[in-house]
Amino acid sequence: MADYSAVSAAVDVADAEDEEEEIIMDEPAPEVSWKVVSIMYACSCAICAVLAALQFGVHIEQVEGVWLIFAPFWPCLAYSLHRMRKQFKESKLKAE
């Protein structure tokens, strides 16, 4: 019969490393920077506004309806600005 002791030792080491990774993964995630999220949503809203202006103002047929792809970012921007304001207030309270 074959000797599998070396293989079982390697499996034990791998299992121990997995347990260490699980402990690291249980740590709380860093807080989301709502300023960065708001900037990204604002860029998407700007694209929406430019495409809508091209369609309705300049009457370019190639961009007809493309602005609708970016339209859902407007409520997302409003929400992220609200959360950013709340995050700034909380950071000021922690600083005091």
Domain ranges for the chain, please list them.
5-95
Residue 32: per-residue pLDDT: 83
Spatial separation of the C-alpha atoms in residues 10 and 6, rounded to whole Å? 6
* pLDDT tens column, 4-57: 666 566 656 666 555 555 556 566 667 888 999 999 999 999 999 999 999 999
pTM listed for this prediction: 0.67
Q: Is the pLDDT of residue 82 over 80?
A: yes
How far, in Å, are 38, 40, 50, 71, 75 from residue 79 at the CA level?
9, 13, 22, 14, 6
Q: Is the pLDDT of residue 91 over 80?
A: yes
Residue 95: per-residue pLDDT: 81
pLDDT average, residue stretch 73-95: 93
> Angle at the Cα of 13 (from 11 to 16), degrees rounded to 5?
110
